[in-house]
Amino acid sequence: MSGNGNGMAIRPTEFEVESETKAGVTYTVRLPYCSCPDFRYRRTTPGNPFCKHLLRAFELGGWHLPERTEGLTSDEVAGLLGRHGVNKHAVAVVIQNARAQGGSAVPVDGYDTLAVITYSRSGGLFTVALP
């Protein structure tokens, strides 16, 4: 850090991020907005308002977003638990148990506690409480 000694760092807030699917296309990200069409659509999507260009800009700027843990599909639960070291078989079992019983739990690598997964039958989505 430089400058005034108060522990504040200035980070860039504008990035050019290349499209992963369209060769030669870049999108301008001015945090917290992106110029891509997907961003306009996602802003109205509850639970995941970020396009991949915006997520990349956060990464480039050194910011880390908290993992979303509410309103998840079974695939999102699998990805979240997989990133926390839970093996695929255990993930499948905990999702099945949560659907059947409304909730379940699974040990998470590196922690002395469990991730608790609840399932909303009315909404058909999961919530994960991580240690």
pLDDT digits (tens, 9 = 90+) for 102-129: 888 888 777 777 888 999 988 889 999 8
- Is the confidence at residue 67, as pLDDT, over 50? yes
Note the pTM of the prediction, 2 decimals.
0.54
Q: Are residues 42 and 83 in the same domain?
A: no
Q: Is residue 24 part of a domain?
A: yes
Q: Are the beta carbons of 128 and 115 closer than 8 angstroms? A: yes
Cα separation, 126 vs 6, whole angstroms: 42
Residue type, 55: L
The H-or-E segment that residue 105 falls in is strand 103-107
Report helix, strand or coil for 5: coil
Which pLDDT score, from 0 to 100, does residue 7 have?
Answer: 52
pLDDT digits (tens, 9 = 90+) for 39-55: 877 665 555 667 888 88
Judge whether 25 lies within some domain.
Answer: yes
Cα 55 to its chain centre, rounded Å, is: 9
The domain total for the chain is 2
Residues spanned by the domain of 92: 74-129
pLDDT surpassing 80 at residue 18: yes
Determine the pLDDT at residue 1.
Answer: 38
